[in-house]
Amino acid sequence: MPKQRGRLRALALGTVLGLGELGMAGGAGAATWTPLWNAAPDKAGTMLLLTDGTVMVQQNGAGNTARWMKLTPDPNGGYVAGTWSKLAAMGTPRLYFPSQVLPDGRVWVLGGEYSASATAVHLNTGEIYDPVADRWSPIAHHPQSLFGDVPTLLLDGGKILAGSILSSGFAAGRSTFLYDIASNTWSGAIPKVHADSSAEESWALMGDGRVLTYDVYKSNATASAVGGGRYAEAFDPAHYTDGDPATRPWVSISPSDGTASGTIPLLGQSDGEMGPILRLYDGRMFLIGATGRTAFYAPDTHAWATGPSVPGGLAVNDAPAALLPNGHVILAAEGGGGRPLFDFNPATQTMARLSLPSALAGDLGNTAYQIRLLLLPTGQLLLATASTRLWVYTPDGTPKAAYRPLVKKVVAQGCGKFTLTGKRLTGQSAGAAYGDDAEMDENYPIVRFQDAAGDSVYAKTLHWSTTHIATGDALVTTDFSLPAGFAAGNYQMTVSAAGIQSLATAVNITASQLPSQPGCPAAR
């Protein structure tokens, strides 16, 4: 192991670990697909990356399910040889619903288009999962009687923005609401600019902290009018005050009404379906339409532009996409007798169909809505196809240095708890996206330790200081706690966010900093 730069002096806040950056940028090998060695206990659905590096996966063998399972990395920190275990079931079966991983490590879910039958019910109830206790608890119902699979998004300040599908509140289902995590209460309604329901919408976080959505129904309804069919808007949390009816945080960014320049192709199908939205590393927002057409939005210039169409005229309605560490986007489409995967290169604005192993092509089947994608802390992509066999994609290339998380300081707080300060700890994007039926945002830090023998352990991150992405040189903090049984010694520590890893940093964990010290509560 390379020598450390030297132990830093203790500060008033606690003991500062000895840090030394290691030059481990990694090479760029050929991209590969690898099936997991161990089959999942049940067919895999929506996947969420927990803050301790494990992956929480909804079981989908019976369709509408309350059951979940967990993929734990192998001793080397990888996922191909990971092991499976079962988790507690939700109180209510839910299928197609939004979810958020919270800064305290818990998981929040709301709604469900379906429950225990094949008839849509649009649940307005929700639950929170505690990974420590392996227990689900109910939360306050959404303010409207129906919710279903409407989008949500985690904001700073312990708030979650949620949409609606009903034509009540303000007008034509345009109401949105805020959930306060600490108090388990809802506020709103907060009207969108356009009379446009959130049903089937996709929401995505932009680099300036605002939330972007494309107004599917408004665009479809005005598509035949001169200058119509090009509507979108953004939610700015900085322009909202709880309880103030005069607050209007939603603003139009639409070529059709002159609030933005350029043009937007028709992205939504007649039934309102829309594909995923992702922030690219160059700052543009990439919108993938259910029609197979795409668009770019540049937040700094308020300009829209048409992107490339999915080859073969295929559709991306209810289908996932993910932004890889190398800057490319992997997306799923359907039509033409299969569910192909495509690689989009933003630098050349070209889209090419991926060559897949025959076994994976067979697993993909004929409909894209069952595919799920998730970025892993290793920089790889996890793919589920509603079967018990999951796949890991190892992309070629490496992220640019300017996008990598950077560790500046780690301070020991006692009993295995630490505070890490650094840059770009919440990633450049949310990682993977789907749309209204599933959410798997992972714009938060994951901390991993590797010893000289190559064995790895993930810590559990908590209380990251912001949910914003693309934070540049601004300092961001996160707490993390070591698991029980963690041994004192020298380690290489990496931090990842939405699949982008930092360079390794040499750290020394002393016995006095472990969670096993006398007087310390049980770890996690």
Is the predicted pLDDT of residue 508 greater than 50, yes or no? yes
Domains of the chain plus CATH, in order, are 32-401 (2.130.10.80)
Residue 492, class by beta-carbon neighbours within 10 Å (0-12 exposed, 13-18 middle, 19+ buried)?
buried
**Within 13 Å of residue 51, how many CA atoms lie on the same side as its CB?**
27
Q: Scan for tokens 């006095």, then name that residue.
A: 512
pLDDT tens digits for range 234-264: 999 988 877 676 678 999 999 999 999 999 9
Give every strand in the sheet of 32-35, ordered side by side.
32-35, 391-394, 381-384, 372-375
Flag the least confident range among 68-72, 197-201, 347-351, 504-508. Answer: 197-201
pLDDT tens digits for range 122-178: 999 999 999 999 999 999 999 999 999 999 999 999 999 999 987 543 335 689 999
Is the predicted pLDDT of residue 63 greater than 80, yes or no? no
Position 280 scores a pLDDT of 98
Q: Rounded to an integer, what distance in angstroms lies between the CA atom of residue 481 and that of residue 240?
A: 34
Is the predicted pLDDT of residue 16 greater than 70, yes or no? no
pLDDT tens digits for range 37-49: 999 999 999 999 9
pLDDT tier, 366 (very low <50, low <70, confident <90, very high otherwise): low
pLDDT tier, 23 (very low <50, low <70, confident <90, very high otherwise): very low
Q: Rounded to an integer, what distance in angstroms lies between the CA atom of residue 88 and that of residue 303?
A: 46
pLDDT over 70 percentage in the chain: 90
Q: Rounded to an integer, what distance in angstroms lies between the CA atom of residue 77 and that of residue 39?
A: 18
pLDDT tens digits for range 431-486: 999 988 999 999 999 999 999 999 999 999 999 999 999 999 999 999 999 999 99
Tokens of 293: 């057409």
| Average pLDDT estimate for 20-36 | 64
pLDDT tier, 118 (very low <50, low <70, confident <90, very high otherwise): confident
Position 241 scores a pLDDT of 78
Is the predicted pLDDT of residue 64 greater than 50, yes or no? yes
Is the predicted pLDDT of residue 203 greater than 60, yes or no? yes
Is the predicted pLDDT of residue 293 greater than 80, yes or no? yes
pLDDT tens digits for range 367-391: 788 999 999 999 999 999 999 999 9
| Average pLDDT estimate for 55-70 | 86
Position 521 scores a pLDDT of 85
Q: Scan for tokens 């288009």, then name that residue.
A: 113
Report whether 486 contacts 506 (CB < 8 A).
Answer: no
Comparing 395 with 519, the larger pLDDT belongs to 395
Position 144 scores a pLDDT of 93
Flag the least confident range among 96-100, 414-418, 433-437. Answer: 433-437
Q: Rounded to an integer, what distance in angstroms lies between the CA atom of residue 217 and that of residue 269?
A: 9
Position 402 scores a pLDDT of 96
| Average pLDDT estimate for 217-239 | 92
Flag the least confident range among 16-20, 84-88, 466-470. Answer: 16-20
Pairing of strands 303-306, 261-262: parallel
Classify 99 as helix, strand or coil.
strand
Report whether 6 contacts 510 (CB < 8 A).
Answer: no
Q: Rounded to an integer, what distance in angstroms lies between the CA atom of residue 284 and that of residue 303?
A: 10
Write down the mean pLDDT value for the chain. 90
Q: Rounded to an integer, what distance in angstroms lies between the CA atom of residue 504 and that of residue 520?
A: 29
**Amino acid letter, 281:** Y
**Amino acid letter, 173:** G
Position 116 scores a pLDDT of 82
pLDDT over 90 percentage in the chain: 78
Report whether 101 contacts 446 (CB < 8 A).
Answer: no
Pairing of strands 126-130, 135-139: antiparallel
Comparing 15 with 73, the larger pLDDT belongs to 73
| Average pLDDT estimate for 495-518 | 95
| Average pLDDT estimate for 79-89 | 97
Report whether 398 contacts 392 (CB < 8 A).
Answer: no
Tokens of 94: 């839910």
Position 65 scores a pLDDT of 84
Check whether the bond before 189 is cis (ω within 30° of 0). yes
Q: Scan for tokens 């999942």, then name that residue.
A: 40
